[in-house]
Every structure is written in C-alpha cells, then in structure tokens.
Amino acid sequence: MKKTPKYRSAEVVSSHLLTPHLQRVVLTGEDFSDFPENEEGGYVKVILEGTKEEIEASDKRPKMKSYTVAHFDKTKKETHTRFCCQSP
C-alpha cells in the first residue's frame, strides 16, 4: 500500500545567503512538532503553491522540489534548509 505523504504548513523565520549560490532558509510551524530528529543530510519536499488543505483535497500531485535539511531544532520547531540559487 502506498504511503500518503504528510504535508506540513510552514512559515519562513529567516533567510541568509551563505554563498553566491547557496541560501539557508529557516522554516517553522506547529506541524513540525512531530518532525523526526537527527535527520540532518536528509531532505524535505517543498511545495510553494496552495494551502495545506487545498493540496490534501486535490486529486493532482502538487509540483514540489527536494531540499537538504541542514539542522532541525525540535524545541523551536525550526528546520534549517539549504536552497541552491541559480544565476540570472
């Protein structure tokens, strides 16, 4: 049986340019209360369109991209995620 993905709503806490092509974005939200610890180097899939409710109600699979988890702070419910920036 295919596992249903868990969608989590998140807000951007901060965003910092690490190098000219690497951005660190810190995300938080109540949905991170059960996020797995010690997953640094793992990844999250980010969906930038629609609300959690709209995505869960839709029959279509949303467009998403994978990003590396650099750090997770369970107390603050924050995940530090690295985004590769493309040159214009």
Q: Is the separation of the CB atoms in 23 and 17 below 8 Å?
A: yes
Domains of the chain: 11-84 (2.40.30.10)
Asked if residue 28 has pLDDT above 90, the reply is yes
Q: What is the pLDDT of residues 8-25, one digit of tens each?
A: 888 999 999 999 999 999
Q: What is the pLDDT of residues 49-82, one digit of tens each?
A: 777 788 888 888 778 888 888 999 999 999 999 8
Helix (H) or strand (E) segment spanning residue 67: strand 65-73
Asked if residue 26 has pLDDT above 70, the reply is yes
Q: How far is CA 85 from CA 21, 35, 66, 81, in A?
A: 5, 26, 14, 13
Q: pTM (2 decimals)?
A: 0.75
Q: Is the separation of the CB atoms in 28 and 73 below 8 Å?
A: no
Dihedral class, residue 5 (left if φ above 0, else alpha if ψ from -120 to 50, else beta): beta
